Copies of this chain bind each other. A is one copy, B any other.
Amino acid sequence: MAEHLHTIRVRYSESDQMGVAHHASYIPWLEEARIEWLRAHNRSYRQLESEGIFMPVIELQVRYRRSLRFDDVATLTTTATATGPTRICFATRLTHGDSLCAEAEVTVAAVDKAGKPQRIPADLAALMATTAPVPG
Q: A3 on the interface (CB 8 Å rule)?
A: no
Q: For the complex, count residues of A whose C-beta is within 8 A of B.
A: 37
B27 touches A13 (CB 8 A): yes
Nearest Cβ in chain B — how far from A59, in angstroms?
5
The closest CB in chain B to the CB of A103 belongs to: B59
A24 touches B23 (CB 8 A): no
A13 touching B24 in the complex, CB below 8 Å, given contacts A46-B71, A61-B60: yes
Q: A131 on the interface (CB 8 Å rule)?
A: no
A23 touches B60 (CB 8 A): yes
B71 touches A64 (CB 8 A): no
Inside 8 A of A35's CB, which chain B residues have their CB? Answer: 12, 71
Q: A84 on the interface (CB 8 Å rule)?
A: no
